[in-house]
Structure 1
Amino acid sequence: MRYLLLILAAAALGGCMNPSDMASGTDYYLRDSGFLDHSQTRRTGNWRLQPDSFIYIAQGPFVPPGHPYARPNVVAEEAFKGFVEYFPMVRRAKTPLGLEGAMKEARAVGANYLLYTRFARGEDNVGNYEEYEDTDNAVGRDRSVIQVMLIETGTRYLVDSATVRSRGGFLTFYDASPDDLIGPPLEDYARSLLGVKTREEYQ
């Protein structure tokens, strides 16, 4: 009788939900429960950009507390990878810059907007045996906090700002670092600027 009920329940679920929806829902719950990487983005506005907007991406010269060995320009590099998928006209600063220097370069190349980023905080916990022997950090999931400002270059108007908080998952923390958490939420941010659904909104 028990097996019959299980079969009926599975059939009922199959009739109500297609495989892609089931996979999407499973992914959401695994992230929300901490098994996979998870991020949360808080925006101050809901500004939308045109797809042909020219965006210049730069990162401030700020060493994140808790993760002093982060690559100096890693946030700008990961933001570029995510934004170029949705905005064909994207350029990136080669090195970290102060806000005035980034604005000057953005205007020099004719960009409409400056996406100015900062690696606000990192928590690089132990993710493999070598790290366990070399550091006193705890074993476990990494965390990161990224801050971004979207500024119109012509008027210096702050169009939008956002804070992205990410944490690693129990199934993905091996041999990982806070840098690995940056890319997906920044790609989601690019999607949100176009009004395209993000991964969280698909759930």
Structure 2
Amino acid sequence: MRYLLLILAFAALAGCMKPSDLADGADHYLRDAGFLDHGQTRRASNWRLQADSFVYIAQGPFVPRGHPYARPNVVAEEAFKGFIEYFPRVRRADAPQGLDLALQTARSLGADYLLYTRFARGEDNIGTWEELEDRESLGDVGRDRSVVQVMLIETSTFYLVDTATIHNRGGFLTFYDAQPDDLLGPPLEEYARSLLGLKR
């Protein structure tokens, strides 16, 4: 009888929603509950860009608090991977740059906008047996976290079009052998989508 009720409940849900909607809903709730990686972006404005905008991406030379061993240009690299799918005209700095140099480079390349990023904070907790043996502290076992700050600047006027702060946290099911750097890609891609007004 119990199985019959489960089958009827599933059939009723399937009649109301597509399987892809059910999967998206489950994914959302698993992320929100902390089982999967989760990113939350707080934007200062709802500015939209045209799809043909030329975006230059750079990262400031800032060592993230709590994660001094992060790759120096990792946020710019991950942002580039996320933006290239949605903006066909995008370039990235090869190394960290100060804001003045990044603006100068963006203008010299003819970019419409500078996406200037900063890896503000990282928390690299223990995620493997080897790390546990090295640190010998059970209090550091758990999910990684990171905070990224973003400024979008119009290069012709130096107008600050948008700012955003992205808070990322790892999931209970995905923290094994993970780094704070691994959390950066999906939220930055979602930010690129939001600049075009695209929904998930």
TM-score norm. by structure 2 comes to 0.96
Cα distance, 1:5 vs. partner?
2.2
| Number of residue pairs matched by the alignment | 198
Partner of 1:112: 112
Partner of 2:175: 173
Stretch moving more, 107-116 or 11-20:
11-20
Partner-residue secondary structure (3-state), 1:49:
coil
User: Residues 125-144 of structure 1: CA distance to partner in whole angstroms, max 9, x if unpaired?
Assistant: 01111111223570110000
Is 1:134 matched with 2:134? yes
Identity %: 76
In 2, distance between residues paired with 1:105 and 1:99? 10
Is 1:45 matched with 2:45? yes
Is 1:36 matched with 2:36? yes
User: Residues 146-176 of structure 1: CA distance to partner in whole angstroms, max 9, x if unpaired?
Assistant: 0000000010000000000000000000000
Structure 1 regions of 5+ residues with no counterpart? 199-203
Partner of 2:101: 101
Is 1:85 matched with 2:85? yes
- 4+ residue stretches of structure 1 with deviation over 6 A? none
Aligned with 2:146 (options 144, 147, 152): 144
Partner-residue secondary structure (3-state), 2:140:
coil
Partner of 2:62: 62
Partner of 1:201: none
Structure 2 regions of 5+ residues with no counterpart? none
Cα distance, 1:3 vs. partner?
3.0
User: Residues 94-114 of structure 1: CA distance to partner in whole angstroms, max 9, x if unpaired?
Assistant: 100110010011011110100
TM-score norm. by structure 1 comes to 0.95
